[in-house]
Amino acid sequence: MQVKIEHLTKRFGDFTAVEDFNMVFDDGKLVALLGPSGCGKSTILNMLSGILPSTSGKIYFDETDVTNVPPQDRGVGLVFQNYALYPHMSVLENIAFPLEIKKVPKEERNKKAEEMARLVHVDQYLHRKPKELSGGQQQRVAIARALIKQPRLLLLDEPLSNLDARLRLEMREEIRRIQLETGVTTVFVTHDQEEAMSISDKIVLMKNGVLQQEAGPQELYDNPANLFVANFLGNPPINNLNGYIKDGYFVLEDESGKIKINNPNVKEGQQVVMGIRAESVAIKDGDHDFEATVKQRYTMGKEELAFLNIGNQTIRVYLSSDYEFKEGETVFVKLRDKGVFLFDKETGVQI
């Protein structure tokens, strides 16, 4: 099912949690709603499920306007951050609950519930109570319960945030598998950029209730609309160099270096921020853009990184192992084309 959101706004008193949000979620896709804490992700999700009434704007499921349809009639499945399993019911009863409400005969609903349990791999725990399950198992039960009535839209609110790092990796693959297997349109809330990048067809990035950018994970990484998006995605985070434009050059703010810009959109004297991905910097002799001093080296897993001082600013870069140098040494750096962006300093918009 396709979901279309038009001018959706939510205010709590005079605080605007979501502002003029427009969006289309395509049928059968997994979309990640990404953004820092408090940016309105849950608010959007709750408006989609019908738990929270919107202040203004419209929500369409396919062609139907569901803005004022109560939650139970929307045909959505929702998984809460804390899973919200019914503590007094067994796994089987929990999964079967939506069908019980629909008065499906016991035998039939138990059969369906067992099927769902198999899909999410909890079929060996059918008679346990939720508190006798691990976090990951509880989450799967919650997903099974959300899926059993064959929702047209599956909503997941930070379903992985209670899990440890390894289980998170495992479960996000699981969610992707289940989503692909069932083909249900899914909206997945997270504040973890890596999670969003790894499993979604599309990422919707929010900040303070305002949409920043919507794009595929790679597109979002390769072509951020603004500085916020660029800073939010990527680990290690993108480097920011402050400077201004002069005679077609980007000049560092302390004037310790400059680099030729072939961007027709820049204006003379414009204050800008250059965003440089850590992997877009090469350290090499000969042809180079900046001189830099090695401040500190460190390793992260199998990767080697270094902090470099360029003038009075610091960037973080990946090192290739075939180039040996010590801390304090001066090196030459060359920027690649890909992964280097210019942003207007005031508006943050990519130039």
Ligand X SMILES: Nc1ncnc2c1ncn2[C@@H]1O[C@H](COP(=O)(O)OP(=O)(O)OP(=O)(O)O)[C@@H](O)[C@H]1O
Is residue 306 within 8 Å of 261, Cβ to Cβ? Answer: no
Which among other proteins, ligand X, Mg ion, none contacts residue 15 (Cβ within 5 to 8 A by kind)?
Answer: ligand X
Residue with tokens 């039939």: 108
Determine the Cα–Cα distance for residues 351 and 349; give it in Å rounded to an integer: 6
* Nearer Cβ to other proteins (190/280): 190
Q: Which stretch binds ligand X (CB under 6 A): 32-40, 101-109, 180-188, 288-296?
A: 32-40
* Direct distance between the N- and C-terminal alpha carbons of the chain, in angstroms, rounded to an integer: 36
Among 42, 46, 226, 313, binds Mg ion (CB under 5 A): 42
Residue 43 interacting with ligand X (CB under 6 A): yes
Residue with tokens 């030729």: 260
45 to 74: interface string for other proteins, x by CB under 8 A = -x--xxx------------------xxx-x
137 lies in the binding site for Mg ion (CB under 5 A): no
Task: For residue 12, state whether it binds ligand X (rule: CB under 6 A).
Answer: yes
Residue with tokens 């709603």: 33
Whose structure tokens read 């009535």? 149
Q: How far apart are CA 258 and CA 152, in angstroms?
A: 54
Nearest approach in angstroms of CB 63 to Mg ion is 29
- Cβ-based nearer residue to ligand X, 17 or 266: 17
38 binds, options Mg ion, ligand X, other proteins, none, Cβ within 5 to 8 A by partner type: ligand X
Query: What are 239's two structure tokens?
Result: 């480097």
In the region spanning residues 298 to 317, those forming contacts with Mg ion, defined by CB under 5 A, are: none
Q: Phi first, then psi: give them for residue 98, nearest 5 degrees.
A: -60, -35
| Distance from chain centroid for Cα 45 | 14
What backbone torsions phi and psi does residue 180 show, to the nearest 5 degrees?
A: -65, -40
Question: Which residue is listed with tokens 């080296």?
Answer: 297
Place of tokens 């599956």: 154
Restricting to residues 132-191, which ones interact with ligand X according to CB under 6 A?
Answer: 191
Among residues 7, 102, 284, 336, which is the contact residue for other proteins, using CB under 8 A? Answer: 102
Q: Which is nearer to Mg ion, 42 or 94 (CB)?
A: 42
Q: Which stretches of the chain bind other proteins, using CB under 8 A?
A: 46, 49-51, 70-72, 74, 76-78, 80-88, 97-98, 100-102, 129-131, 145, 149
